[in-house]
Structure 1
Amino acid sequence: MPTVHTGATPPIRPTSGPASREETAAVRERGLARLRLRIPELADAIVVSLRASEPVYSGGSIPPAEAPLWIGHSIDLALDAFRMPSEERAGTLEFPRRLGMRRAQQGVPMSALLRAYHIGGRVICEAFSQWGMEEGLPTAYSTALIDDAWDIVDWHSSAAIAALRMAETELPNRRAGGVLLDALLNGETDPTTAALAARAFSLPEQARYVVVVQRPVEGPAAPLDPASLPGRVHGVPVVWRMHGESAIGIAVIGDVPAAEFGAAIPGREGRRTGVSVAVSGLTELGRARQLAELAVRTITGGGPGLATMDERLPATMLTVRPDLARELELRVLAPVLSLDPAGRDLLLETLGAWLEAEGSATRAAEMLFCHRNTVLNRLRRLEQLTQRSLDNPRHLVEVTLALDAYLLRGGSTYVGGRPPTPPGGLHPPPLR
């Protein structure tokens, strides 16, 4: 990758290095650990310098809270790259590319982005030099880290600038395409709309698509940093659209099962994730989004979680007709629900654990910290009250769905969970 320059004066880069490979590795790890503890401090120093020298970083086109977050993430990623052989560092370029595209959307000129990377490189190198002096190390140790730091800055800045240039040429089409993509997610099925959106985002019109919905749990949510949304999941690129505090992802999964793709989505504190079944093209994105929204509503408990429609279809059906779900709950579980709360929760908790253990009383007992015979005795008690046998397939389906209906309505979750949020309406709000 070519080296980029902005006029900033980097530290002198001697060519000599430590004599011992083992010593180099040990010093490198100590230095990286020290700088990782200082990431917020270093990011703030870079932001202060940038705002003093580049008006675009202080004039409002970049949200004030965004620059420290993205720069801190860039430093963290650069420190990860130190531990990689040169041939593997290309794997760290996805974020710089996304950063370049983001800055293009914000109207940041190339010179300002270049200066951001060089100020960042200078601050990191000065931190390595300071650490080396504090440790009383020979200069050769810290200068070896400085050499590597500038190589990584060159790689990352070149990737970001290339993405910025490309995004600048594609931006008008992307903005128009984004409106069309939002229309498809809102239920539009016009083939012409799909064709134009496909061209703007380089997406196939016909392919196996899934839609991912990430939304906050009940209550105020922390702002979602777009940088934290994964550009790839399970090796599959994901196009994200923001809708208020929620994020909507579109992915072409090919032959990957939807549930397998969903399982690879990173968990997120304070947010719930739903994944649709696979649909056959862009004109079906609206249906896929609706299914992903329904999948989210099957997550019980008050915290975050992930639900794929492929694995939650029965529970999803209950959210569509809450009146019928309540009727099923009462018809099957009324004798259990009439018990005192402690007795009710004990039986339902045991049933939930037994179902989660796929019918194994031994595994359920381990989950509940009790004896296997205790589990069996509680299940027999439940069978007596409901007059349904768990050995009868039809009865088992009824009992399972009735328990799901109870949990979705707000009943106590099994195995130490918390009360869930009752399901909301069927149709998602339109994207804006």
Structure 2
Amino acid sequence: MRGTVTEQLVERGWRAETRDFLRWHRETRAAALADDLVATIERDHLAYRRAGVVSHASLRQSCRTNVAAVLDLMVASVEHGAPDPGEPAYDPARATGAVRAREGLPLDHVLRSFRIGGRLIWDDLVRSGADRLSGSGLREVGSLLWEVVDETSAQMAAAYHGHERSRVRTDEQRRAALWEDLVGGRARDPGFALEASGLLDLPPFAEVLVVLADGVEPRTFESALAPHATAATWRGDLLLGVVALREDRPEAAYDALRALAGVDRPGGGRTGGGRTGGGRTGGGRTGGGRARVVSSGVVDGLGEVGLGYQQARAALRSAPAAPAFVPYDAALPEVLLLSVPDVAERLVDRWITPLRDLGDEGTVLLETLAAWVTAGGSASRAAPLVPCHRNTVLNRLRRVTQVTGLALDDDAPPLDLDLALRAAVLARRHD
């Protein structure tokens, strides 16, 4: 013998009394069995009652259609062989799977109700067939019954999972659309702000930071920023996050973002997190620890997330490729330079290009200029940064004036020199 129980029995031919018994049982017992199944589930299947999502009418309709379908499938299998899984005969099982998934009833509970139904039908078949079938006939009917119950359960589960996948896709699409609306400024509408607040679990009117990060997973971001309320998603290859501040000032959030990036607090103190972790490797997304992170300035509630996103984008353009944390307020000169490229180019041409033309000497002069500006115009403080003697710094400043024709004082770096140095760094980053 080969194939399923149905194929084996059809191949050798069913006994007439077995076929007639199944027809009779279908016609006379389907309604009573469905009522028994409803009563049994409501009495004994506590999970259905506790879940509280399946009404009596829905359960009764499902039991009636599925019991009838199982008995119909048994008769059809005897007469013509088991129906193809895609046939309409399995529609009641598929409908039950979709409805219960929509109601939120766990799949295990639904599968258990199908097993209860199979057991009730088997007990009834045994009682009804005791005087009509031989022992071997009952065993054949039992094998056929469980074959049918297994397939209907599989069809129900497939429909259940299909509905869940569809719901997940719908939820993802809805969240993606919500994020697009947020960065587009739609949350200036208080109604939408409240809707977004509920979906993202964020306070609607708290002050927030908008964060972009290259190389950080959303879950890692949310964990690192706790106990601030946060939400995050992917926008292209970047993490896009919103941080609702717990206090009026953003310093605690900034410290957490520095730790997430794996960089030092200004002044050399560690923010925690260490320099461990893999960073981006071959373009992969990592858990943080060596990442590029930027933030907006503090903006007023979800209604200003769009503004914050634009600020974070501007800060990102100014950020180095290496792991770094760049808040928007610390990058304002670079943001200005990037927004007016002809001014940036003019500053570089005045201060930087003549020194570059000197070759190695110019490189030394530029390094000394950068140290001098960092030191606030003090040759004494700039000397150890180079490193060299204070008088060497002064001599090099005089050489810069000689080459560029632009005067330098020993305590006041020109604003346009500072901007020129920044513009040169930006130009290298964007080459």
TM-score w.r.t. length of structure 2: 0.49
Between the two structures, name the one with larger relative contact order (CA 8 Å, sep ≥ 6): 1
Q: With structure 1 as the length reference, what TM-score do the two structures score?
A: 0.49
